[in-house]
Every structure is written in structure tokens, then in C-alpha cells.
A and B are shown apart, each in its own frame.
Chain A
């Protein structure tokens, strides 16, 4: 039994996790209105929101009709490149005593790890490639080069975060139980450490996520059973040991043959840290920059399909940049499109983006985007600002 099946209440699932073919019963209503519509969308009538939902559905259908052999070739190509980079990087590190080899090895390995986590792992684990029916590239079989076990992450991420995006009190990704990232989260003196916690979190991000995925708070509150906790701890222990052994014992051990053991260890440590800092930066750009909204529980009460789409759009932020940057972020630079259609193949988000942006403009909704440095700066500004007490303006 996976973590997903144990704790999922099928009747309350949203439209995101269902097969692309047909809506799941219990999916969100096509018409109606939530108890409270978010301020940024308050000017829209129920009919407008329903129409917006239909327009976005049509965009998705259009991609589904096109999806095929070229998409399959894309993900296979990326996987091949990633594995090539990883082998080359590790091989170079084995001769890490040579400075050029060390720099090359560490760079290639960092690049490989970033690709593996972002464009490959994250997206496969979302089920973006399940339609290929390839057991080698499938959300139920994939395991990634990241400490947290894929199944645990799928639960907190695909299920909880993507369902309850930015709903304070429901989506724990709002601060990861560590940071105060919203005015509606009560201020305590602990929040003063916000910038410090975040600075420490960035280079060890994968360990932070691993602990987060254990859902310790839920366990303490009795929402997670002891059996589930033991099972998750065991899975994490096994996974962490393997990850640790590979990077910090086996690779340096082999490198010792050329007298490069210590250098190889520094190389893998650096590569993991680089990947962690990058992933942390990209992920913080997804929902924290200026312009993204958070939501209250009343706003999701009675939420329609259109309102769900609206919440995904106004709660997320994109990053603008080159094609290379998009791939290195796992196309999470198209965070808005990813949140609208989490199981569409990532290589299609770029093509969807202008259409989504046009819809936002037409309906008078914010579409937050900006270059990487600006968005990173903006999310850090929030980390600093919310260290101090203050209410929503």
C-alpha cells in the first residue's frame, strides 16, 4: 500500500488527480460559487468563472489531442542526456585531484542532479508521462535522486499541495511548517528567525523536504497513525541510507583509487548543495513572490471547477527566461500552467502559457511573472517581511 492510498479520501478529491479522460465523480461542480470568492477574482460573475473554466478545459483538450510520439521522444532524450551527464560528472570526480577534473565533474553532476529532480523526477512523479504506459517512466515506479521517497512526496505534493494550493491551514507548503510565509499565519517570536531558517534550509533543501514529508505535525495531532509513521520512517531510512552511501561513501571510495577520495566527497557534497539551492530558489518562486495570493478556507468552500482554476492562477507565479532556464527549472518556471494542468507533459507548458496569459488579461486576473533574480528577491523579501509581526493590508 502506498502512502497515497492509505490516506486519501476519494470523495473529496479535486479534478487534478483524475485520469485525463473523464471527470471524477465528486469533482468540482461546473457551476455555482464558493462561499467567498478571492478578492482578485471578486469582479467576476459565476457565469464568467464557469466560462473561464471551459476555456481552460479546451486548452487542455487541445494538448491532449496533440500529445504523442514527439513528446515521448522528448522525455526519453532528456533522460538520456541526464544519465550521460551523471556518468561523465561522476567519472570526472574520480580524478578530482586534478582541479579541472573536479570543476568539470562537480558542474556536470550538479547539472545532472538538477535535471533529474526537476524536469524528470518531479514531472514523472506527477504522472505527466503515465499515458505512455512505459513502466520505466511511470509515476508508480519512478524513484528519484532526492532523499525523500517518491511515494511520500507524491502524497504531500501531488495530493495535498496541488489540491489545496495556497489555502492557509490546508496547504502546508505555505511555509513548510518552518517559515511564516503569510500574514494569516499567527506571528510568534519564532518567526524572527525566518531569514536564518530559510538560509539554512536552502543548501540542505532535500533533507528539509524529507522531514516535511513525514508529516510530523499530523502525527502529533493524531491525524496520522503510528503505523503510517513507522512505515514512512522506515522508507525514509532506507532511501536516505542509499542516497548517502552513493554520494558520500561509494563515489569517494572508488575515487580513492586515484587518491581523489576527499576531492570526490567535496564534489558530491557541492553538487547536492548546488542542486538544493537551485531547487529551493525555483520552488520559492512558485508561490511566494509579490503578486501571488493565498486563500482562506471559505474561499474553497463550494469552489467550482472554474474557481479552482482561478485559485491556481492567482496563487502561482512564473519565471521568465530562456529555454535552458525553463528546462533547468523542470518547467516550474511555468508554475501557473503547471498548477492548472499538473499532469500535462512539461514540454507543453511553454506552448500553453501565452493562451493562459491571454485568458488572465481578458478576465482581468493577475498573471504574475518576472525574471529569476527578481522573483527570488521578491520571495526573500517576503521571508524577511513576515519575520516581523503584521497583518494583511
Chain B
């Protein structure tokens, strides 16, 4: 690696102002001096509106842990857009994302991606990963929330005879249920893996209102470490159930916390690990925006009080750093030079000169000057 870097440095004498990677990119598009890329190797349709995209990443990618997500850059009409997608391939294998057509970017990915296409990438990240030590697991997923969990199941179930995994997956109809066949095969093959499908088209929404519903599907759920991934409402319900159970049975000596800690616990909320795909931003009602100045880029734009500064900057042609676009990864931090911003999640207005703000969840609250 170090030798490669030295070699690249030496070669750059001949390629300046370009980097050697810029020349190598003529032969293999994963090379880039600035931007991690991957080349699509295979596209597998999953359901009518979802597909798994396998890709070969360039240098700079790091192997993903089961359950992690990566930012993927796609071009729509020549303009690059970034979104986050969970990796569905098992840890240790070449990465793949499974995408459901839910918007402009995912639609293009599902329908128009072909082998040989170039994807722009950021290395995988995320804490929604398997526990370090073996323990019984309960996976609660809904819709495309199965994606990160699929990576976990594929990583764990075939390779760990001591695994004990229960998956409860909710989808509208059998034909909408991603990975349905593979999950059935795994369940047939491995007795330590049990799958329950819940079709909302037949049975309505899964009821987390009381413990009884979950008791019927997985009687020993309280002693399992639970992973949940799905739409907002689904996760909120799960959180509420775990919290209610913990409050109702504060000291249950028979239950053991799944991280191995001894003590009386019951359905402890720390046992519920949640992956949220989007953060609901507060809709703006009567909030004033302001003049946003991108100082070093020399751009000024009048912005309203509801548009994230990240979008404002991108629309103005500023090369904004960006990440998850939901306020969690802090890739989009920019120093505020002057002015105040409103956090679109909480409505809080804040800002001091020099403060780093998350442009993806902050809107202008009056004039704002950003150091970019």
C-alpha cells in the first residue's frame, strides 16, 4: 500500500496537474483521485420494484460489517445525487445494495442500472451491527427494512451453528416480500433460524400495542436482543412496546439481559437496536428563511426557512460536503461564519460564529453565512 502510494507520487511527476488515478481511470473506471467509485458487476431483480446491485469497489473502500449502510452517488440527468442504502451482502463478500423503488434516485437505481455502470461511493458505516458475543436474536423488519438484516442473517445463520435467530418480517403481500425464497430456504436448512412472514395485506398492521401480539409470534422475545428496521411508525411502535414492558415489569429476576449483564431485566429498551431510514423534518409553518452566503464559493442565494442549507447550496452549484441527509452522520458539517439556523428536526434556532452546523437538517433562520 505504502509502496503503491510512493509509486503514484513518482508517476504524478509525469501526469501533473492530474493524478495517476485520473489516467488509470481511462482503463478502469474505479480509479479516481477524489471520489471512491464502484463498478456494477451484477443486477438481480428481487421483487417487481426492487433489485440487488452488486458492485466492485475501488481502492479506499473498506469491508462492511453485516448491517451497515453506504452512501451511493447516482447521476440523474447528469446531476449527481447521494442517498444511503443498506448493504445486503454478507460480511466478507463483495458489497451489494438492495434498493426499493421509492423515489427518483432509487427508481433510477432499480430500473436503469446495468453491469458496467459506475457508482460513486462512500465507505460503509453504521452501528446497526451484530453483537460481538453470541446471544439469541429477534429481528423485526418491515418492507425494505429487511435489507440490513438480510446481511446479518446471511453472515450469521449458515456459519454459526450456535446462532439462534428469529426473524419476523412484515410486507404487504408475498410477492412484495424481498428475499422471501432465500429466507425460506435458509429456514428449511438451518434449524437455528426461524422466519415468520406477516402480510399486512391479509392481516393488517402488526400489532405492537400490547405484548400479546408479539408473544404469539415469538414467546421468548423478552430474552432476545432485538434488531428492528422499517418505517417510522413501525419502529416507534416497537420502541413503545419495549419501554412499556420495561415499565410494567421493572424487576423480573428470571430474565437475563442479552449483553450478558446479570441482574433483573425485562424487555429492556437497551436490548432493542433500531435502524431508522429517515428522520421526519418539521414542516415549516411561517418560518422565515434568509439570504444564505457561501463565502469561499462566492455564492448568495435567498433561501426559505424549510429547505435544508445542503439543498440550497447544491442548487446554487456549491460543492457541499454531504452524507446521510438525515442528520446522523455529520459528513455535512460546515462552519457557520455568521447568522443563525433552525434545526428542522426540533425547530430549535441556534448558531454561533465558528459553530459547525449540520447543513442537511438546518435551514436559514435569517441571513446565514457559511464558510465554504
Q: List 27 A-B contacts (CB under 8 A).
A: A2-B296, A4-B296, A10-B293, A10-B300, A17-B298, A19-B315, A19-B317, A20-B317, A22-B302, A72-B78, A80-B26, A83-B18, A83-B23, A90-B14, A132-B75, A133-B79, A133-B80, A133-B319, A135-B34, A135-B319, A140-B297, A144-B17, A239-B17, A245-B13, A245-B16, A246-B14, A250-B13
Contact of A19 among B35, B81, B291, B299 (CB under 8 A): B299
Complex CA–CA separation, A159 to B338 (angstroms): 24
Q: Complex Cα distance A20/B316, Å?
A: 7
Residues of B in contact, count (CB < 8 Å): 35
Q: Give B contacts to A, CB under 8 Å.
A: 13-18, 22-23, 26, 32-35, 75, 77-81, 291, 293, 295-302, 314-319
Q: Which of B34, B78, B301 contacts A71 (CB 8 A)?
A: B78
* Residue A8 is within 8 A (CB to CB) of chain B in the complex: yes
A131 on interface, CB distance cutoff 8 Å: yes
Q: Tell me if A97 counts as interface (CB < 8 A to partner B).
A: no
Q: How far is the CB of A81 from chain B (nearest CB, A)?
A: 10
Q: In the complex, which residue of chain B has the Cβ closest to the Cβ of A2?
A: B296
Q: Who on chain A is nearest to B320 by CB?
A: A133
CB distance from A31 to the nearest CB of B (A): 20
Q: How many residues of A contact B (CB 8 A)?
A: 49
For the complex, give the distance between the alpha carbons of A2 and B80 in Å. Answer: 25
Query: Which residues of B sit under 8 angstroms from A242, Cβ to Cβ?
Result: 13, 16-17
State how many angstroms separate the Cβ of A304 from the closest Cβ of chain B: 20
The distance in angstroms between the C-alpha atoms of A35 and B32, with both chains bound, is 52
Query: What is the bound-complex CA distance between A69 and B15, given in angstroms?
Result: 28
**Chain A residues positioned under 8 Å from B79 (CB to CB):** 68, 72, 131-133
5 additional A-B pairs beyond A144-B17, A145-B17, beta carbons within 8 Å, are A8-B298, A13-B298, A20-B317, A131-B79, A135-B319
**Does A183 sit within 8 A of B, measured CB to CB?**
no
- Give A75's nearest chain B residue, CB to CB: B78
A69 touches B75 (CB 8 A): yes
A84-B26 contact in complex given A90-B14, A133-B314, A246-B16, C-beta closer than 8 Å: yes
Q: Is the CB of A141 within 8 A of B34?
A: yes
Whether A83 touches B14, Cβ cut-off 8 Å, given contacts A10-B293, A20-B317, A135-B35, is no
Cβ contact within 8 Å between B316 and A21: yes
Nearest chain B CB to A9's CB is how many angstroms away?
Answer: 11
State how many angstroms separate the Cβ of A376 from the closest Cβ of chain B: 29
CB A197 to nearest CB in B, in angstroms, measures: 29
Task: Say yes or no for A25: interface residue by CB 8 A criterion.
Answer: yes
Q: Which residues from chain B contact A131 at a C-beta distance below 8 Å?
A: 78-79, 317
Contact partners of B14 in chain A: CB under 8 A = 90, 246, 250-251, 254
Contact with B along A202-229 (1 / 0, CB 8 A): 0000000000000000000000000000
A188 contacts B by Cβ under 8 Å: no
CB distance from B81 to the nearest CB of A (A): 8
> Beyond A136-B32, A141-B319, is A10–B13 a contact (Cβ under 8 Å)?
no
* Nearest-neighbor residue (CB-CB) of B120 within chain A: A134
Distance in Å from the Cβ of B298 to the closest Cβ of chain A?
A: 6
Cα A72 to Cα B13 with chains together (Å): 29
| Residue of B whose beta carbon sits closest to that of A84 | B26
Chain A residues near B295 (CB, 8 Å)? 5
CB <8 Å contact, B26 and A136: no
A46 to chain B, nearest CB (A): 26
**Alpha-carbon distance A83/B17, docked complex (angstroms):** 12
Asked if B23 and A246 sit within 8 Å, CB to CB, the answer is no
Q: How far is the CA of A68 from the CA of B108 in the complex (A)?
A: 15
Residues of A within 8 A of B32 (CB): 136
Decide: B300 and A18 in contact? CB cutoff 8 A. Answer: yes
Question: Contacts A135-B319, A250-B13; is A18 near B299 (CB within 8 Å)?
Answer: yes
In the complex, the answer to whether A68 meets B78 with C-beta atoms within 8 Å is: yes
Across the interface, which residues of A come within 8 angstroms of B301, CB to CB?
A: 19, 21-22
Residue of B nearest to A146 (CB): B17
- Chain B positions within 8 Å of A4 at CB level: 296, 298
Shortest CB-to-CB span from A229 to chain B, Å, is 20
Q: Hey, what's the 0/1 contact readout for A72-110 against B, CB within 8 Å counting as 1?
A: 110000001001100100100000000000000000000
Q: Assess whether B17 is in contact with A87, with CB atoms less than 8 Å apart.
A: no
Contact A69 B77 (CB under 8 A): yes
Bound complex: CA A90 to CA B297 (Å): 35
Q: Are B13 and A246 in contact (CB under 8 A)?
A: yes
* B residues in contact with A342, CB < 8 Å: none
Report the minimum CB–CB distance from A322 to chain B (whole Å): 27
- Chain A residue nearest to B322 in the complex (CB): A133
Q: Are A243 and B16 in contact (CB under 8 A)?
A: yes
Cα distance, A133 to B317, chains bound together (Å): 7
Interface: A130 (CB within 8 A): yes
Q: Is the CB of A143 within 8 A of B78?
A: no
Instruction: Give residues 232-247 of A contacting B (CB, 8 Å).
Output: 239, 242-243, 245-246
A149 to chain B minimum Cβ distance, whole angstroms, is 9
Contacts of A254 in B (CB 8 A): 14
Q: At the interface, yes or no: A348 with Cβ under 8 Å from chain B?
A: no
Contact of A257 with B by CB under 8 A:
no
Inside 8 A of B291's CB, which chain A residues have their CB? 25
- Interfacial residues of chain A within 134-177, with CB under 8 A of chain B in the complex: 134-136, 138, 140-141, 143-145
The answer to whether A286 has its CB under 8 Å from any CB of chain B is: no
Is A24 engaged at the interface, CB distance under 8 Å to the other chain?
yes
